[in-house]
């Protein structure tokens, strides 16, 4: 892979961190972001204050996790990122400890589909049982929860999203945080109404018919 492409990927990851931090999804060094470039992955290093991340704070590894560029140690969640790339062919991965998503992860076993925009993420979002950060157990359980989904919540921890591009993975993180915030506010008023499978199918059919997303 050309060095220029990897350098650009490192800058893009740093910029994505700035966007997510600006939206309140990344706080301090909590969270990590990566993008795949061919057979390499540019991923935030451990201990980086993500809102101030620079390209030098992003490490490049191969798909086995071997560092090929950068002076810093990659995030402790590297195994989770690499697992998502291998299993789902993702283009980018975002992991946050964002407040609304984390709040939902403290209470629910699944975020139900309360708004049709959640269908972009796969509808209802599973909550992964608690496991220690950076552990093989957390990676394994999260990979299972992402089956058919672009997002998962991690109990008492945070959230993970992926997408075909870095922009899409960031957008999915923002959408998940919005959906979680919507649920939190609605639940304060009463039991939120949930879209059933028939209603979800009707939305999908309407979107296809109107050519949304093309």
Q: Which residues, other chains included, contact 88 with Cβ-Cβ below 8 Å and sequence gap of 6+?
A: 146, 162
CA distance linking residue 10 with residue 112, whole number of Å = 35
* Average pLDDT of the residues in 139-153: 98
Q: How confident is the model at residue 157 (pLDDT cuts 50, 70, 90)?
A: very high
pLDDT tops 90 at residue 1: no
Catalytic: 141? no
* Structural domain boundaries enclosing 16: 3-210
* Average pLDDT of the residues in 5-33: 97
Tell me whether strands 125-128 and 151-154 are parallel, antiparallel or unpaired: parallel
| Domain CATH code at residue 15 | 3.40.225.10
Nearest to 34 by CA among 117, 52, 53: 53
Q: How confident is the model at residue 78 (pLDDT cuts 50, 70, 90)?
A: very high
Cα–Cα distance list, 8 to 50, 97, 134 (Å) = 17, 26, 27
Nearest to 188 by CA among 104, 110, 97: 104
The pLDDT, as a whole number, for residue 210 is 85
Structure tokens at 166: 């870095």
Q: How confident is the model at residue 213 (pLDDT cuts 50, 70, 90)?
A: low
Neighbours of 119 (CB within 10 A): 16
The pLDDT, as a whole number, for residue 2 is 62
* Average pLDDT score, the chain: 96
Percent of the chain with pLDDT over 70: 98
Q: Which of 8, 71, 77, 110 is catalytic?
A: 77
Q: How confident is the model at residue 21 (pLDDT cuts 50, 70, 90)?
A: very high
Tell me whether strands 158-163 and 151-154 are parallel, antiparallel or unpaired: antiparallel
Nearest to 28 by CA among 8, 13, 46: 46
Q: How confident is the model at residue 211 (pLDDT cuts 50, 70, 90)?
A: confident
* Average pLDDT of the residues in 156-185: 98
The pLDDT, as a whole number, for residue 214 is 56
Q: How confident is the model at residue 54 (pLDDT cuts 50, 70, 90)?
A: very high
When divided into structural domains, the chain yields a total of: 1
CA distance linking residue 155 with residue 37, whole number of Å = 30
SS3 call for 43: strand
């Amino acid at each position: 892979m050309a060095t220029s492409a990897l350098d650009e990927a490192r800058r893009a990851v740093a910029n994505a961190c700035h966007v997510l931090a600006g939206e309140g999804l990344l706080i301090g060094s909590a969270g990590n972001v990566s993008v795949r470039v061919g057979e390499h992955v540019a991923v935030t290093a451990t201990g980086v204050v993500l809102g101030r991340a620079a390209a030098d704070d992003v490490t490049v590894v191969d798909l086995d996790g071997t560092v090929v560029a950068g002076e810093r140690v990659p995030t402790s969640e590297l195994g989770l990122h690499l697992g998502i790339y291998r299993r789902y062919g993702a283009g980018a991965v975002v992991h946050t400890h964002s407040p609304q998503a984390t709040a939902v992860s403290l209470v629910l076993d699944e975020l139900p589909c309360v708004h049709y925009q959640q269908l972009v993420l796969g509808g209802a979002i599973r909550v992964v049982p608690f496991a220690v950060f950076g552990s093989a157990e957390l990676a394994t359980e999260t990979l299972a929860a992402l089956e058919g989904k672009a997002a998962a919540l991690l109990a008492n921890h945070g959230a993970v999203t992926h997408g075909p591009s870095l922009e899409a993975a960031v957008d999915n993180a923002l959408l998940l945080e919005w959906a979680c915030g919507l649920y939190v506010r609605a639940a304060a008023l009463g039991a939120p109404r949930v879209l059933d499978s028939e209603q979800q199918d009707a939305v999908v059919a309407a979107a296809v018919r109107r050519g949304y997303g093309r």
